[in-house]
Amino acid sequence: MTYSRRNPLYPAIAEDALPTAGVNASDKIIWVSKVSRWTDRKWVFDGKLVGAGTTTVTCIWDFRLHDGTSLFDPQHSRLLNEAQHFFWSLYSERRVGRQLKSTGAGSIFSGLRRLLKWMVEHNYAGFDELNNRASARFCDLLVDFYAMKADDNDFTDDSGSLGNGTELDEFDQDDAEVSGNDSSEFLSGDGESVDPGDIGGVSPGTFRNSLSVWRYLWEQRFAMSKLGIGPMPEAPFFGRSVNKVSVELATKLPARIPALPDAVAISLMNAAHEFIAMTADDLIELVNGLYQIRGTIPENKPDAPSDTPEVSAFLRNFRFSAIEGALPWHHPLGSRGSSAFDELRRLVDELVDACVITAQGETGMRISELSALLAGVNEQTGLPSCITVRPSKTGMLDLYYLNSKLTKLRPAPVNEEWLLAAAPRGTTELPDAVQAVAVLERLLAPLRALADPEIGQYLIITIGVPRGFPISRSGVTEPNNHLLRLGQKSFARSFVDWHEIPMTEETRPYKKSRGNCIRTHQWRKTYAQYVFQVDKRMLPAIARQFKHLSLAMTEGAYVGTSASLITGVAEFNRNLTSDFFLSRVRGTSSKQEGRLAKLMDQYLPELRKIVEGMDDNEARGTMDTWCRNRDMKIFFHGYGQCIPAIAPLQAQCHKRAQTVHWANKAPNFAHREPSICTGCYLFVAGEQNIDYWTKRYVDNKVIWLKANATGQGNEFRVAKIRADQAKGYLLSLGATLPELEMTYEG
């Protein structure tokens, strides 16, 4: 007997177009809706909502899995059968809660699809294997997924569920809709407020969609048993509610979001510094000149024309500066057919973006914290009034602080300050990060003067007209975090040479999206990373700045009130420490040399027991806990690293300073130097230190060779000892020796 669409075996609900009875698929033709059969690779439902017309939802079962197979392939027949019966039961035999409507089928199906993909990849054969341990692993996957996949447009999938004929991404449009309705700030695991916009729009609501499927599976366990399908064995998430778990996962996310890849961060910071140095003076002169010529627009004529002949002539006749012997950095405005006003507006927007990138990259501040900075100039220092200068505790550095008031998630405004820059005491040239803030002050001053006083008080205002420059106060609006985030992405797309960035697994999403996947929250970890490890690819000014910041941080010179930033730097240090131990245990570390490396080799069997039988996530968490419980922290010295907490009484720097104590967890910074550290029980050098040892080898070898050539070699034997020591480290680390010896001794 055959069944026609006009007489389905299991008729659909009139309102929601979904079946009402149980199903025995066997070999019969069973209609799940007016247009779809049970055996179809796509199930199409058309539900109706009052006032909203018909909403078509398409559930695609034939989606790709991690190994290139499809859920319709024979090896996945059991899982497909269980998934289809479960999905059917939600609408035909709902056991708990209100009756579900077909308009929500797409959201539920996309969450189910993600679960099914995960089950196949991790070898779960059926729903009866999903115990509490499995739910915990799935939660870890979700956090890592949203932490690493920064750009939803970069991870599209041509299969899944569709609403209104639109394909859903791997990230799923419904996730975006949920997070869009749940976009307020929340507290991270360390008690710090988090703006979802800073972490790619991910919020507790984003997780709720994927986790709800687990709750539905538990609620439908009796319906599944009735159909002969093994149900979920226990309530997921150890009995906690989906809402509670969603919030917990969202609070973990900021800690999992990685720093920007070095190649991306350095290219972007270099480009921002170069753009500011090249354009700032010219653009400040242009904006100030434009508003001086315009004068004050009468309040009763807010729509007075802006591009008067005088203004237009000023813009067209302006000649941009040039380095001696080179062409100007930009052609005359309006000389190539475009509007001079629009060209200037684009350049001003790009300069603001460059300043924000520089300030955020070199302070670790959040976008919302930058937006809260107030405008004005300190008459005594000549600096923006949001900047104060104080000497460091040692008196060796001038520390530049940014001051602001934070209001979100606080009962009352709180004064906060961040270390903006550090420079040797008495240096007259301002650090680039300070100059970036000063540029924002000068560049936007005419617009602040035009704005309403409540808006003009802010350092970073928003030009609220789509083109050109505003002529009335209504065209200047308050700081807009969303536009600042978009501006960073736009600047990265335009000024980073993406062809020069190597293609790696780490950089792939950034290259593919040309920077569109950058999250501003990543600057916080990038900052912490460069405080500890200055990269040789940085412009000299940036490298010098981070070296000074590192000195301020590690030597205790930084005594600011920004506890959250200090916490972030300390957290990054702890991550480096646990990664150091884990890489040694797993045998994935690079070559290392030093007494600590030899000590680690002796204790590897004991250390391996700590993470035995664990996957990467579990092992990392366990090793992190092990390090925290013992207050293990790794300290970087340029020429190597040390971990004093391993054996505090053996630290040579403390022995030299006569400050030995069992409670010492950090080195004695005043007495650390290569000659002391390299003989220390707690010292190790790695491949990241090769540049230092190469320079030390060349410098000392040249000194000794020159002295020896004139018969003074014995007087410079210390240089020879240092060169020989550096040579030993280079050979142990697998580095190639410079051909210096051949030149002088060959």
pLDDT of residue 254: 64
Residues 305 and 194 in one domain: no
Share of the chain above pLDDT 90, in %: 18
Whether the predicted pLDDT of 438 surpasses 70 = yes
Whether residue 584 lies inside any domain: the answer is no
Expressed as residue numbers, the domain containing 696 is 691-745
pLDDT of residue 171: 31
Whether the predicted pLDDT of 303 surpasses 70 = no
Whether the predicted pLDDT of 12 surpasses 50 = no
Residues 303 and 450 in one domain: yes
Whether the predicted pLDDT of 302 surpasses 60 = no
Share of the chain above pLDDT 70, in %: 75
Domain count, the chain: 3
pLDDT of residue 568: 52
Whether residue 19 lies inside any domain: the answer is no
Residues 739 and 714 in one domain: yes
* DSSP class of 129: G
pLDDT of residue 306: 57
Whether the predicted pLDDT of 671 surpasses 90 = no
pLDDT classification of 492: cutoffs 50, 70, 90:
very high
Residues 341 and 429 in one domain: yes
Whether the predicted pLDDT of 163 surpasses 50 = no
Whether residue 553 lies inside any domain: the answer is no
Higher pLDDT, 255 or 220: 220
Whether residue 387 lies inside any domain: the answer is yes
Residues 273 and 290 in one domain: yes
Instruction: Using alpha carbons, list the distances in angstroms from residue 108 to 160, 214, 413.
Output: 11, 11, 41
pLDDT of residue 52: 42
Residues 194 and 123 in one domain: yes
Whether residue 624 lies inside any domain: the answer is no
3-state secondary structure of 444: coil
Whether residue 590 lies inside any domain: the answer is no
Residues 387 and 494 in one domain: yes
Using alpha carbons, select from 483, 685, 476, 460 the residue that is nearest to residue 590. Answer: 685
Whether the predicted pLDDT of 79 surpasses 60 = yes
Last residue of a domain, one of 232, 256, 280: 256
CB 390 within 8 A of CB 168: no
Whether residue 646 lies inside any domain: the answer is no
pLDDT of residue 446: 94
DSSP string of 21-79, one letter each residue = S----TTS--BSSSS-BTT-SEEEEEEEETTTEEEEEEEE---B-TTS-BTTSGGGHHH
Using alpha carbons, select from 444, 375, 417 the residue that is nearest to residue 560. Answer: 417
Residues 247 and 267 in one domain: no
Q: What gap in Å lies between CA 356 and CA 518, rounded to an integer?
A: 14
Mean pLDDT of the chain: 77
pLDDT tens, position by position, 99-145: 666 667 778 888 899 899 999 988 898 999 999 888 888 888 788 77
pLDDT tens, position by position, 554-568: 444 333 334 444 555
pLDDT of residue 372: 86
pLDDT of residue 545: 52
CB 169 within 8 A of CB 342: no
Among 192-196, 319-323, 360-364, 433-437, the least confident range: 192-196
Residues 418 and 399 in one domain: yes
pLDDT tens, position by position, 598-637: 888 888 888 888 888 887 778 888 888 888 888 888 887 7
pLDDT of residue 296: 55
Whether the predicted pLDDT of 412 surpasses 70 = no
Residues 437 and 472 in one domain: yes
The dihedral through the CA atoms of 151, 155, 158, 161 has a sign that is: negative
Higher pLDDT, 574 or 399: 399
Using alpha carbons, select from 737, 734, 714 the residue that is nearest to residue 724. Answer: 737
pLDDT classification of 202: cutoffs 50, 70, 90:
low
Higher pLDDT, 571 or 439: 439
DSSP string of 222-275, one letter each residue = HHHHHTT-PPPSS-GGGG--HHHHHHHHHHHHHHHSPPPPHHHHHHHHHHHHHH
Structure tokens at 711: 């018969």
pLDDT tens, position by position, 349-408: 999 999 999 988 888 778 888 888 999 999 988 999 999 998 877 677 788 888 876 655
Structure tokens at 349: 């927007």
Last residue of a domain, one of 237, 256, 275: 256
Residues 317 and 250 in one domain: no
Residues 494 and 381 in one domain: yes
pLDDT classification of 714: cutoffs 50, 70, 90:
confident
pLDDT of residue 220: 87
pLDDT classification of 488: cutoffs 50, 70, 90:
very high
pLDDT of residue 354: 96
Whether the predicted pLDDT of 409 surpasses 80 = no
pLDDT of residue 516: 87
Whether residue 636 lies inside any domain: the answer is no
Q: Look at the pTM and tell me if it is higher than 0.75.
A: no
Last residue of a domain, one of 225, 256, 287: 256
